Amino acid sequence: MRLLLIRHGQTPDNVEGKLGTVAPGVGLTDLGRRQAEALPAALADETIGALAVSTLVRTQLTAAPLAAARVLSPTVLDGLREVKAGDLEDRSDTEAVSAYVGRVFAWASGDLDARVPGSEDGHEFFARYDAALAELVAGGERDGHRTVAAVSHGAAIRAWVGSRAVNADDEFIRHHLLENTGVVTLEGTLDRGWRLQTWQGLPVGGAELLDLDAPDPTGESY
């Protein structure tokens, strides 16, 4: 199975460097909408047979152009949502951002007991994210699809890939940015595991869709 993990388009929170994870969340900026509109052409060579999104509206808006182009009805899976910020929600200060992304790196290194203040730990995060992707992949296999895709979130994608891909780890995700509409491609199965194939950290529509001024803490390299 080929699995594409697509980060959502730019949001006002990304521009402000704010941790916003409560559903339904904010929508897309004008740039974010252009990034989403670029997805169908950028992924034209991918034979995507099933598409999933999270309960946060930014993933649904991002997926809409791709879904329309492929005549797909995205499945909404709550487990694909962003790492929940808890007590750090709506903060953009260095202390809060460091605490938040630090938990993501800790989980990828194997420290699943690390907890986002007032929120989930690694055990809880991976339980829901694994279950969501398992549902997507199992459905794709059942329907005979070779490729499935999920539009998800920066910290969540990085945490999952850093832990679940056999050829990635916490150091890899720490030093690889994942800008809005960046795409991570993996090959594997639910039983045998996953191997990272490509990490497209920049917007797939091209450099003109990159915002160099946005703090965007969950997409930056550290």
Catalytic residues: 8, 82
| φ/ψ (deg, to 5) at 92 | -130, 5
**What's the CA gap between 132 and 128, in Å, rounded?**
6
Beta strands at 75-76 and 48-53: parallel, antiparallel or unpaired? parallel
Report the alpha-carbon angle 73-76-81, nearest 5: 140
Question: How many other CB atoms are there within 10 angstroms of residue 39's CB atom?
Answer: 25
Judge whether 195 and 167 are in contact, CB under 8 Å: yes
